[in-house]
Homo-oligomer: A and B are copies of this chain.
Amino acid sequence: MQLDSTLMALADPTRRAILQRLARSPAKVTEIAKPFRISLNSVSKHIRVLERARLVKRHVSGRDHVLTFDPAPLRHAEQWIHDHLVFWTQQLDELEARLSRSKP
């Protein structure tokens, strides 16, 4: 499910930092890996999680793999949390009102 992969992709500080970097400009995998104190292999794994979540697109140009950021799935995740927060908060408020009415 798209929502699962978006939320899972966002639930990690390294992956959020990669998105932060790509929001400035497209970049090669090696450029993205440079500031992180983890192996290129680990960074590549994080990038693959972001690609599966469709937050990052990869364009292959000769030997270069250039990554760009697509924020579209974030909009869906924001909307989902917003809608459920409104609905659930309303239900919890109604429940609290019912309970306080039933108290002697």
The answer to the question of A64 belonging to the interface, with a C-beta cut-off of 8 Å to chain B, is: no
Give A45-56 as 1s and 0s: 1 = Cβ < 8 Å from B's Cβ atoms: 000000000000
**For the complex formed by this chain, how many copies does it contain in all?**
2
Interface size class of A (residues with CB under 8 A): 20 to 34
Q: A88-B71, A92-B71 are in contact. Are A81 and B25 (CB under 8 A)?
A: no
The residues of B that contact A95 with a CB separation of less than 8 Å are: 24-25
CB atoms of B23 and A87 under 8 A apart: yes
CB atoms of B25 and A13 under 8 A apart: no
Cα distance, A41 to B74, chains bound together (Å): 32
Q: A4-B13, A7-B7, A95-B24 are in contact. Are A71 and B87 (CB under 8 A)?
A: no
**20 new A-B pairs (CB below 8 Å) besides A4-B12, A77-B81?**
A1-B13, A4-B11, A4-B13, A5-B11, A7-B7, A8-B8, A8-B11, A10-B81, A11-B11, A19-B88, A23-B88, A24-B91, A24-B95, A25-B95, A69-B88, A69-B92, A74-B85, A75-B85, A78-B85, A81-B81
